[in-house]
Amino acid sequence: MSKHDDGGAAFPLDAGQDYDGDKFVQRGFQGGMTLRDWFAGQALAGVNCFMDRKDLNAMQAYEMADAMLAERNKEQ
């Protein structure tokens, strides 16, 4: 299976800071679902609900998500 651009975290959460005795240090972020996963889920929901099309499958939803990420990553 080839590696796809996942778009990074869809809804990253700040994991907070720790105090190391001298300064605060960022712990990082919790990623959660990827933007690719979010786009694929939205593609399934949108096409199936609003276009009266019930035959969209997961593979097609991820193909749509990949197309959305590619468009998003184009230089403007």
How many Cβ atoms from other residues are within 10 Å of residue 61's Cβ? 21
Does 8 map to a domain?
no
Provide the pLDDT confidence category of residue 1 given band limits of 50, 70 and 90.
very low
Does 1 map to a domain?
no
Q: What is the pLDDT of residue 20?
A: 76
Note whether 22 and 47 are within 8 A (CB): no
What are the pLDDT digits (tens) for 14-54? 777 777 788 777 776 666 788 888 888 888 877 666 555 56
Distance between CA atoms of 74 and 41, rounded to whole angstroms?
A: 22
Domain that holds residue 39: 13-73
- The number of folded domains in the chain is 1
Q: What is the pLDDT of residue 53?
A: 59
Does 55 map to a domain?
yes
Does 60 map to a domain?
yes
Does 3 map to a domain?
no
Number of H helices, E strands in the chain: 2, 4
Note whether 33 and 9 are within 8 A (CB): yes
